[in-house]
Structure 1
Amino acid sequence: MDVTAPRQYGPVSIRLVKPRDARVLQHELLANRTWLRPWEATSPDGPVSFDMKLGIRRLLQQYRDGAGVPYVMEYDGEVAGQLNVWGIARGSLSSATIGYWVSERFAGRGITPTSVALATDVCFRELGLHRMEICIRPENLASLRVVAKLGFRYEGLRRRFIHISGDWRDHYAFALVREEVPEGVLQRWVSGRASEDAAAIPAADRPASGR
């Protein structure tokens, strides 16, 4: 099957990003600076230029190279954010990582968990990957709810893992492997069979992360 084909569940859909998406995505990012800035990766070398056209070209080149799949998330056909499958590794690792952002005006509509479930199913079923990972700052309670809803399994604390807001920040790592979801991530979630307990963070990791 074609991994570029749009995937949809209810009003939520994901599709491959296109160059023509640059203007609306840049508008959403600029309009949501206060909402998104605490979670956005930054460069330890200093500020970098904000050019969505260039960013999309780079994402699509990574897609052509087999290193990632960049999606746009939509709600009722309106662009609501981005979801990127990145760091695709083949061979004995056969894994990838998911990152995403959603506009504040679309928060609370189930867009992110639905999109993550759709993308993970594509990665397992059509790309043939074995493991999917999501890394989240301990302070990002909304994203922690996403992995809990979908039954992603907590794997550990990664100290000073990603540079965000001017410093290296701790992240919690969550993952699923294909054997855990033979029916698919989306189907397991909507049928109520995803265990939120899988994402529980042990007490030993909470003080270490400052929470």
Structure 2
Amino acid sequence: MSLSTILPMSAFALAASISPGPVNLVCLTSGTRYPLRRGLVFVTGASLGFIALFIAVGLGLYSMLAVVPGLQEALRWAGIAFLLYLSIRLFRDDGRLPEGGNSEAPGFMTGALMQWLNPKAWLASASGIGAYTSGDNLQQIILFALLYLPICWLSLGSWVYAGAFLRRYVHRPGVLIAINRTLAVLLAASCVYLLVE
């Protein structure tokens, strides 16, 4: 693969990974609420989950959605339900930072599952593969995925670090409640996009 192909692929991966979306908002929230390492576990799950989805889409999963009746609609509703569940949990948060890191942070499997229910991840996979590979060349898809993985991890990780930065300056529960509720509304708003799509 030539440099003239790698650079545009990298730019696409960066733009798709770092731009705001449901997974990015959960990363930001994790950074404000939990120790950094807990947020990075979620990031690792989300990154590997995305790469698994990316390869599956490259192998024809996306075209299968058009063939199997109701599968695309079922995925869409599962994604909406999952995002609403996360936004309700975030909205109801009391604003107190967990002591000793014992509370339940979104983990590896939550990150991986969230990507499979995330329309942004499906669109990024389908459009990236369509634009930068011949679609049936497994070697190109694997190379693109290997390039995408560190970019995705670093992009999502930067949202966790941004949350950790905010956490240093948020010591009053009222401020954290306001931040959490804003993020919860944004997460719920992404469901509206899914409903009207």
Which protein has the bigger helix share? Answer: 2
Same fold (TM over 0.5): no
TM-score (norm 2): 0.23
Which is richer in strand? 1
Structure number with bigger Rg:
2
TM-score by length of 1: 0.22
Q: More relative contact order in 1 or in 2 (CA 8 Å, sep 6+)?
A: 2
